[in-house]
Amino acid sequence: MRADVLDALARHAATLDESGFDPRADVSVDAWAGLHADLAALGLEFSDITALDRIDAVELVCWLLSSPSEQLSVRTSCLNDRLLAPTLSDVYPPAEFGEREVYDLFGVVFEGHPDMSRILQPDDATTFPLRKSFELAETPW
Partner 1 sequence: MGIVDRAEEAGFITTTLDKLLRWGRSRSMWPVNAGIACCSLEMMTTGAGRYDFDRFGIMFRSSPRQADVLIVPGPITKKMQPIVQRVYNQMAEPRWVIAMGSCAISGGAFADSYNVLPGCDTFLPVDVYIPGCPPRPEALIYGCLKLKEQIANTSFIGSAARNKALYVPPDLGEEWPDELLRQFGVLPADDSSEGGSRDVGEVRDEG
Partner 2 sequence: MVNFPRSEATGGTETLLLNVGPQHPSTHGVLHFMLEMAGETVVTAKPVIGYLHRGIEKLAENRTWQQVIVLTDRQDYVAQFSNEWAYCRAVERLAGIELPERAEWLRTLMGELNRITSHLIWYAGVTMDIGTLGTPFIYAWETRERIFDFFEAVTGARMMPNWMRIGGVRTDIDPALLADLRTFLERDFPKECDTYEALLTGNEIVVSRMKGVGVYTAEECVHLGITGPFLRASGLARDLRRDAPYGAYAKLDFEVCTDPVGDSLARCRVRLRELRESARMCIQLIDGMPEGDIAVKVPKALKPPAGDCYVRTESPRGELGVFVASDGTTRPYRYRVRSPIFYGLSAMPRLLPGHLLADMLVIFGGIDTSMGEIDR
> Considering beta carbons, is residue 29 or 130 the nearer one to partner 1?
130
| Dihedral pair phi/psi, residue 34, rounded to 5° | -65, -45
Q: Is 117 in the site for partner 1 (CB under 8 A)?
A: yes
* Spatial distance between the Cα atoms of 75 and 24, rounded to a whole number of angstroms: 7
Spell out a b/e string for 67-86, using b for 16 or more CB atoms within 10 Å of the CB, else e: eeeebbbbbbbbeeeebebb
Q: Is 28 in the site for partner 1 (CB under 8 A)?
A: no
139 binds, among partner 1, partner 2, none (CB under 5 to 8 A by kind): partner 1
Long-range contacts: 54-59, Cβ < 8 Å, 24+?
55/132, 56/80, 58/83, 58/106, 58/107, 58/108, 58/131
| Distances from the Cα of 54 to the Cα of 51, 104, 116, 117, 122, angstroms | 9, 17, 23, 23, 25
Q: Is 136 in the site for partner 1 (CB under 8 A)?
A: yes
Q: Which of 3, 56, 68, 126 binds partner 2 (CB under 8 A)?
A: 68
Q: Is 66 in the site for partner 2 (CB under 8 A)?
A: no
Name the one range near partner 1 by CB under 8 A: 19-27, 54-62, 93-101, 120-128: 120-128
Name the one range near partner 2 by CB under 8 A: 4-12, 18-26, 30-38, 76-84: 18-26
Binding region for partner 2 (CB under 8 A): 20-22, 45-48, 50, 52-53, 61, 63, 68-69, 71, 73, 92-94, 96-98, 101, 105, 118-122, 129-130, 134, 136
